[in-house]
């Protein structure tokens, strides 16, 4: 039985002044997966994959795939419109401030443990500490 190729689904959605593109396709019997991708300005925001390996031998596979593709495509659009991919609905977590290199240096760096010669790590840390000091007003 020849399997009729199912045409993919493509939808452009306007949301909060931006155009999003939702694309759903069937990867075929060799790799039985339905893939839906949400794009904005060419960047992938979300991907959903559903395997149908367990039903690949079903007699009415084309009809089943059409329904599965349609449902997955519609769900991605609904999630977009519900704000699940929008930064406006979920503010980013605050990033804790990182202590400066000077604050992270050990107290006494004048006498290296290597018998008088500074290691490369010590020299780099000294350089970074001096640079940080020069940045202070």
Whether 74 is in a domain gets the answer yes
Whether 3 is in a domain gets the answer no
Cβ distance 125 to 101 under 8 Å? yes
Over residues 84-101, the mean pLDDT reads 52
Q: Are residues 115 and 67 in the same domain?
A: no
User: Given pLDDT bands bounded at 50, 70 and 90, which one contains residue 127?
Assistant: confident
Q: Are residues 32 and 75 in the same domain?
A: yes
Lowest mean pLDDT among 2-6, 40-44, 67-71: 2-6
What pLDDT score does 136 carry?
A: 67
Q: Are residues 74 and 111 in the same domain?
A: no
Q: What is the per-residue DSSP string for 51-76?
A: E-GGGTT-TTHHHHHHHHHHHHHHHH
Q: Are residues 117 and 66 in the same domain?
A: no
Provide φ and ψ at 43, rounded to 5°. Answer: -90, 140
Q: What residue numbers bound the domain in which 14 lies?
A: 9-81
Whether 95 is in a domain gets the answer no
What pLDDT score does 121 carry?
A: 67
How far is the CA of 32 from the CAs of 24, 44, 50, in angstroms?
Answer: 13, 22, 8
**Full-model pTM:** 0.59
Over residues 99-104, the mean pLDDT reads 45
Cβ distance 13 to 20 under 8 Å? yes
Cβ distance 6 to 65 under 8 Å? yes
Mean per-residue pLDDT of the chain? 78
Return the C-alpha torsion angle 88, 92, 94, 95, nearest 10.
-140
Proportion of the chain in helix, strand, coil states, percent, rounded to 5:
30, 25, 45
Domain tally for the chain?
A: 2
Q: Are residues 67 and 34 in the same domain?
A: yes
Lowest mean pLDDT among 4-8, 55-59, 83-87, 124-128: 4-8
Cβ distance 33 to 50 under 8 Å? yes
What pLDDT score does 26 carry?
A: 94
């Amino acid at each position: 039985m020849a399997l009729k190729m199912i045409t993919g689904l493509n939808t452009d959605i306007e949301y909060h002044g931006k155009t999003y593109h939702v694309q759903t396709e069937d990867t075929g019997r060799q790799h039985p997966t339905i893939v839906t991708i949400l794009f904005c300005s060419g960047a992938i925001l979300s991907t959903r994959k559903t395997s149908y390996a367990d039903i690949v031998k079903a007699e009415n596979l084309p009809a089943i795939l059409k329904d599965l593709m349609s449902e997955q495509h519609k769900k991605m659009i609904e999630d977009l419109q519900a704000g699940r991919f929008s930064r406006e609905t979920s503010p980013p977590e605050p990033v804790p401030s990182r202590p400066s290199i000077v604050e992270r240096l050990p107290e006494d760096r004048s006498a290296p443990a290597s018998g008088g010669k500074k290691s490369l790590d010590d020299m780099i840390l000294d350089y970074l500490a001096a640079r940080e000091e020069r940045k202070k007003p």
